[in-house]
Amino acid sequence: MDGSEAGKAEGLHMPPPTGMRKVEFVAIVAGLMALNAIAIDIMLPALGEIARATGLTEEGGDQNRQQLIIFAYVLGFGAPQLIWGPITDRFGRRAPLFVALAGYMLMAFLCVVAHSFWALLAARFLQGVFSSGARTVASAVVRDLFAGRAMASFMSLVMTVFMIVPIIAPAIGQMILYVAPWEGIFIVLAVWGGLMFAWTWFRLPESLPKAARQSLEIGSVMAAYMQVIRTRVSFGYMLASGLVFGSLFAFIASSEQVFREVFDQGDTFAYWFAGIAAALALSNFANSRLVERMGMRRISHIALFTFIISTLLLTIATLTWGENLAVFFPLFAIGFACFGMMGSNFSALAMEPLGKIAGTASAAYGFATTMISSIIGMIIGAQFDGTTVPLSFGFVILGVASLLVILVTEKGRLFSRY
């Protein structure tokens, strides 16, 4: 059975966990995924201050090295998912989740007492490791209960709620800096982790029956990962997602520099960032309403073409007329909104044929997309030269590369409703 057939067979979905309304289930999954977003976005206004306070500036390093505060966390978030996935398929969803949340809180406190830039990076890396466990569990729980278009629709609702975090997180970070030193940001991260620990402890039941749990033997684990790689649709959309989402990481890491140095909007950076995140949130909500009628492929393929066109126009406009915020912001917001039509659909397409190994599949997808996108994003972010051209041109290249992968994956057939 190929991916599309699996989607038809598994088109129906189960209700939320017993005793829980759908709105609460959406909020819990969004809250777990927000652990990752808030750990990145809340500190964007503080990157320069953290770099100075921990000695990076005194070392005479390249100013772009402050982006390592973001990428250390993202790199920690990537590879460990390959370990968390089989663990959640073997021991269930709840126990690994609580270990991950406890570790997330502990690493936030270690960031507070870090005495050097490199010690902070180490703690951030480990915080990413534990955050990856929570994200793996959240995705696996959703796949335990949903499939196909229903999963894409549910994940779009999750992402709509989740996107509140990047909308408000930079502003929260800025507010913290008004009343406290940068260490206060990590205290807030620890508090968020504690809230999610308590909420899931009392309200999120186990979604993986003992009879459905997988062996943790190396042979079984490797066989599960080989199944992911050999499933054409799953592997293709993992790679395509990793490529195009490199754009997302590149912008997040360099966004402060773009708005402060290129457009001289330092004092209002949080508002511009919130506007772009709001476009993405609206796109996710629209996808939740459209996907069950139009299909994951049709929506995501249209969105990818729109992303390529909008970022190409932005690059041409900048090269022709120079930097102009009135041109940059709307075109960039359109491109960013496309992620809302790609993210949950690419994820659902990749996970659709792999319901029996949802934890491992979630881990493989998270690892592939995070590692590919973070490395690419780090490379593009490091090219920042005081203009937006390296950023927007990098977006065009990644969009085209993602499209080529999808063309191969779908054997040249695009815009299918299935």
CA distance 250 to 418: 31
Backbone torsion region of residue 215, taken as left when φ is above 0, otherwise alpha when ψ lies between -120 and 50, otherwise beta: beta
Instruction: Name which residue leads in pLDDT, 68 or 122.
Output: 122
Element (H, E) at 319: helix 296-321
Indicate the residue type of 80: P
DSSP secondary structure letters along 101-158:
HHHHHHHHHHHHT--SHHHHHHHHHHHHHHHHHHHHHHHHHHHHH--HHHHHHHHHHH
The answer to which of 100-114, 210-224, 235-249, 308-322 has the lowest mean pLDDT is 210-224
pTM of the model: 0.72
Give how far Cα 406 sits from Cα of 201, 244, 402, 412, Å.
40, 11, 6, 8
Q: Where are the domains of the chain?
A: 3-8+21-206+215-409
Element (H, E) at 409: helix 389-409
pLDDT tens digits along 175-220: 898 898 988 999 999 999 999 999 999 998 888 888 888 777 888 7
The single-letter DSSP state of residue 259 is: I
Indicate the residue type of 275: G
pLDDT tens digits along 36-93: 888 888 887 888 788 777 776 554 445 567 778 888 888 888 778 888 888 988 899 9
**What per-residue confidence (pLDDT) applies to 56?**
61
DSSP secondary structure letters along 44-112:
GGGHHHHHHHTTTTTTT--GGGGGHHHHHHHHHHHTTHHHHHHHHHHH-SHHHHHHHHHHHHHHHHHHH
Q: Which CATH class is domain 3-8+21-206+215-409?
A: mainly alpha
Rounded to 10 degrees, the C-alpha dihedral 117/165/371/295 comes to -170
Cα 405 versus chain centre, distance: 20
CA distance 414 to 94: 39
Is-contact 254 241, C-beta < 8 A?
A: no
Give how far Cα 258 sits from Cα of 40, 262, 272, 316, 333, Å.
17, 5, 11, 18, 14
